[in-house]
Chain A
């Protein structure tokens, strides 16, 4: 099963159209393998993006260089996935 160890989900709030375009440029860079959970649409609307550990530094540098503010929404995705999996297994045991 594919793991998501070290993947982070960032919350970004683009301030203007230019920052939205910057985020669209980021989205187009296939090699970063980033996954927009909520895509950039209009200024001031929240964007959520999952970033693999290997691309984190590049993406954060890009955002900072463009003056785009962000915060970490999920620090390590795998931790949440492990919790989810454990809960599913527990529920299955209880139902049986």
Chain B
């Protein structure tokens, strides 16, 4: 009803306006929470989907690496999908009758604005590093999971700089505090792009996790569901073996914190556009990703722990 075009890339202000619009259009289901502020004082806005009560919850975030614009766009499409399908799609209805969903569409708002106004290739936060001329920390090397280990740089000018200490980035710290204070998050799913991967822990070490068999089967089912729509080919496995060893990542932290269902998606580019995925691929990307997400969320709903 807002006339918002989900098949286009938008400014941060437009995304925030549409989040408000969703909360206004579905007042009994959707609300907006601010879980913190970024380094440059932009709000960390989360959409909460809840039918009421104190339910276990699923966490979804997108856009921690700001230049991966298809992820922020996918998150917003997903928000609209969840809201509009509740009461119509039995699976989503049953999910939201059992669990809440928290969705953070723009995890790195400063980086997103910077990537739209100054440097399209920016992927880090915008924090000032004492003693360095360079700005920003890779927020997916900043979590307290093997912090500072292999696959993260100690050079503040590097795109994979881990930061001065774990949780030094207020954007990361805000999520950690929210997850801890909630106390009943059962799944942690983060959206990145590109490469078409569906990964589970670990990245900071290359050992097999205790829940390997379950997560591997589930991730393969999710990837299969995703592929079924447009044939997009996904690889599935632990971060360490399907990309490379990388320390300080979010899903390693969430898994070690006790959130068994921790996954990271790397969405499309299937057509050699890299981070510059044409806007006409946003909706197909979101549609196929939704099938993968739904598979995971249904499993989480049906396997309480």
Q: Spell out A's residues near B (CB within 8 Å).
A: 1-2, 4, 9, 11, 30, 35, 37-39, 41, 48, 50, 73-74, 77, 80-81, 84, 87-88, 91-92, 94-95
Q: Is the CB of A37 within 8 A of B118?
A: no
Q: Which residues of B contact A92 (CB under 8 A)?
A: 14
Q: Which residues of A contact B117 (CB under 8 A)?
A: 1
Partner pick for B120 among A30, A38, A81, A87, CB 8 A cutoff: A81
Partner pick for B119 among A2, A30, A84, A91, CB 8 A cutoff: A2
B263-287 Cβ-contact flags toward A at 8 Å (1 or 0): 0000000001111101100000000
Q: Is the CB of A74 within 8 A of B3?
A: no
**Chain B interface bracket (under 10, 10 to 19, 20 to 34, 35 or more):** 20 to 34
Q: Spell out B's residues near A (CB within 8 Å).
A: 3-5, 8-10, 14, 117-121, 155, 157-159, 194-195, 243-244, 272-276, 278-279
Assembly CA distance A92 to B120 (angstroms) = 18
Q: Is the CB of A91 within 8 A of B272?
A: no
**Beyond A39-B244, A41-B243, A74-B272, 12 extra complex contacts between A and B, CB < 8 Å:** A2-B118, A2-B120, A11-B272, A30-B157, A38-B194, A50-B274, A84-B9, A87-B8, A87-B9, A91-B8, A95-B5, A95-B8
Q: Is the CB of B279 within 8 A of A4?
A: no
Partner pick for A80 among B118, B194, B244, B276, CB 8 A cutoff: B276
Q: Is the CB of B5 within 8 A of A41?
A: no
Q: Which residues of A contact B274 (CB under 8 A)?
A: 9, 37, 48, 50, 73-74
The majority secondary structure among interface residues of chain A is mixed
Q: Which residues of B contact A80 (CB under 8 A)?
A: 273, 276
CB nearest neighbor in A for B119: A2
Assembly CA distance A88 to B117 (angstroms) = 12
Assembly CA distance A87 to B194 (angstroms) = 21
Q: Which residues of A contact B195 (CB under 8 A)?
A: 38
Sort A-B residue pairs by CB-CB distance and give the 8 closest, nearest first: A91-B8, A2-B119, A80-B276, A37-B274, A73-B272, A41-B244, A88-B9, A81-B120
Q: Is the CB of A91 within 8 A of B5?
A: yes
CB nearest neighbor in A for B274: A37
Q: What is the distance, in angstroms, from B23's C-beta to the closest C-beta of chain A? A: 19
Partner pick for A81 among B8, B10, B276, CB 8 A cutoff: B276
Q: Which residues of A contact B273 (CB under 8 A)?
A: 74, 80
Assembly CA distance A9 to B271 (angstroms) = 13
Q: Is the CB of A4 within 8 A of B120?
A: yes
Q: What is the distance, in angstroms, from B37's C-beta to the closest C-beta of chain A? A: 25
CB nearest neighbor in A for B246: A39
Assembly CA distance A35 to B124 (angstroms) = 13
13 contacts between A and B (CB under 8 A): A1-B119, A4-B120, A11-B272, A37-B275, A41-B243, A41-B244, A48-B274, A84-B9, A84-B278, A87-B9, A88-B8, A92-B14, A94-B5
